[in-house]
Amino acid sequence: MGEILVGTASWTDKTLLRSGWYPPDVTTPEERLRYYARVFPLVEVDSTYYATPAEETARLWAYRTPQGFTFDVKAFSLLTCHPTRPAALPKDLRVEMAPGKKNLYVRDLDPAVVEQVWERFVSALMPLWEADRFGAVLFQFPRWFPISKRNKHYILECKRRCEPLRISVEFRNRTWMTEENQAETLDFLRSYAIPYVCLDMPQGYPCSIPPVVAATSDLAIVRFHGRSDKWTSRDIYQRFGYLYSPEELKQWTPKLCELAGETTSTHVLMNNCYRDYAQTNARQLADLLRTMPACPVRPPPAQPDDA
């Protein structure tokens, strides 16, 4: 039976900072991360989706968290086939951009520039890997990324380019998980030991993925996006501003314990990031899991002054 780590996607959301979840005397980035790591053993870094990270930043994340803390990191938008603002690229690489474009895709850039983006992205995260704080790079592919031989090859390219960092895969195109293709998708990921990201999200939309629970490697990842009826809103807080009820969370506890029985580690991340909704639900879910027999939930790691 593997351990279950429960955490949230982000610890710096502006509505979280205004919610009062952090104590009044916790005001700096360092203090917030240290405080967060006293409450949860896992966090997902989402800022890396919007801009390539700096190596020094990752080094500070490792320094400010105790041994036993884990970071999952969202892949940079350009690398997941999403539109990317030119300003999100490192300054010295922008000279090779296609002029006049509001958004860029890999096809718009010189292959040498794309190669540099990959190298810098992976290199920037190495301090976390070297400090034994790293979980997986989350590749969240867009709704226009359907199941195909070409896209399977691209997933394997992502896996190769990220080594020695491991990757996980989240789909937003329903073709990967239809009844006809579900077994093929999971078998593909399983054959390369790539973690499939299980989802709880609003259903009935073109990008909806069913809440299939499946382990395709020794690491399982489950992300909770909420169940808002405003999923198509352009307002991110309307889309993710959903507070799960204890009953809704309880429905997941046997499924998560089942995953833990098939893996060495299961990462559970609340992505309903509005005010302190994610932190509240993460605590509730961890408490519910602790009531399950033989379902080990990792506590927050001991801080140096707590040891």
The per-residue pLDDT for range 53-111, each reduced to its tens digit, is: 899 999 999 999 999 999 999 999 999 999 999 889 988 888 666 667 788 899 888 89
Residues 276 and 19: beta-carbon distance below 8 Å? yes
pTM, to two decimals: 0.94
Which pLDDT belongs to residue 206?
87
Other CB atoms within 10 Å distance of the CB of residue 239: 20
Could you write out the DSSP letters of every residue in 125-180? HHHHHHTT-EEEEEEE--TT--S-HHHHHHHHHHHHHHTTS-EEEE--SGGGGSTT
CB 212 within 8 A of CB 259: no
- Report the alpha-carbon distance of residue 252 to residue 101 in Å, rounded: 44
Rg of the Cα trace of the chain?
19
pLDDT in tens, 1-31: 899 999 999 999 999 999 999 999 999 999 9
Segment 182-227, tens digit of pLDDT: 999 999 999 999 999 999 999 999 899 999 999 999 999 999 999 9
| Res. 114: pLDDT tops 70 | yes
The C-alpha atoms of residue 70 and residue 68 are separated, in whole angstroms, by: 7
Max Cα-Cα span within the chain:
59
Look up residue 285 and give its amino acid: L
CATH second-level architecture of 3-290? Answer: Alpha-Beta Barrel (3.20)
Helix (H) or strand (E) holding 3: strand 3-9
Tokens 């799960």 locate to 244
